[in-house]
Amino acid sequence: MQLTEIRTAGFGGQGVILSAMIIGKAASIYEDRHATLTQSFGPEARGGASSAQVVLSDRPIAYPYVTAPDVLIVMSQEAYTRFAPELKDNGILIVEEDLVRISQLKPTVRVYGVPATRLAEELGRRMVLNVVMVGFFAAVTGLVSPDALRRAVVDSVPPATRDLNLRAFDKGYEYGLAKVSTPVEETEQASMELE
């Protein structure tokens, strides 16, 4: 695996940093690769801007910051507006489709949307939307194995919420597998019908 830069972003309270920690932990501990994590969040904490940067590689990582993400995971409109211009050509953009409206994007970027908040609400807890996003990320990118990510989820959440978080991961992963198996023409048609 070559060096891969991933940025997760949204607002405080969405679990942005935890989702990045799960991805980094899965790769470094359960797949024996190298990973770095850096994070930033506004002084407002809950409700303020929040982002985390994960760098994955098979070799030691000399520079731990994302310069141009290969994958951008956004859970708020503000995060999309701020970070989408940095996404690499041929990069992957993953959005919380109920909270983010896409515009002015490079034509080579692959976009995948997931209603993570709605899927989390179906499980009874909106706060697991970040783990839904991680499951979706696993399915559409294939960068980290679902098994490693599931193990990292178990290690990263409180014991009382493990089952709920694993169900959230599985829900996002299954949604992502269905999205990837849908032909592009059908996805574009559905998108046009929504507008």
pLDDT in tens, 6-51: 999 998 888 899 999 999 999 999 999 999 999 876 554 556 678 9
The 10s digit of each residue's pLDDT in 67-123 is: 999 999 999 999 999 999 999 999 999 999 999 999 888 889 999 999 999 999 999
pTM of the entire structure?
A: 0.88
Point out the least confidently predicted range of 76-85, 136-145, 176-185: 176-185
Gap between the Cα atoms of 31 and 46, Å rounded: 32
Sorting pLDDT into bands at 50, 70 and 90, what band is 185?
A: very low
Residue 46's pLDDT is 58
Instruction: List Cα–Cα distances, 27 to 139, 150, 194, in angstroms.
Output: 15, 11, 36
Q: In the β-sheet with 49-57, what is the strand arrangement from edge to edge?
A: 34-41, 49-57, 4-11, 71-74, 92-96, 110-114
Statement: residue 183 has pLDDT above 60 = no
Query: Does residue 193 or residue 90 have the better pLDDT?
Result: 90
Amino acid letter at 172?
Answer: G
Average pLDDT over residues 159-168: 97
Q: Which CATH superfamily is domain 4-194 in?
A: Pyruvate-ferredoxin oxidoreductase, PFOR, domain III (3.40.920.10)
Residue 52 reports pLDDT greater than 80 = yes
Instruction: Evaluate whether 177 touches 112 at the Cβ level (below 8 Å).
Output: no
List the domain boundaries for the chain.
4-194
DSSP-derived letter for residue 100 is -
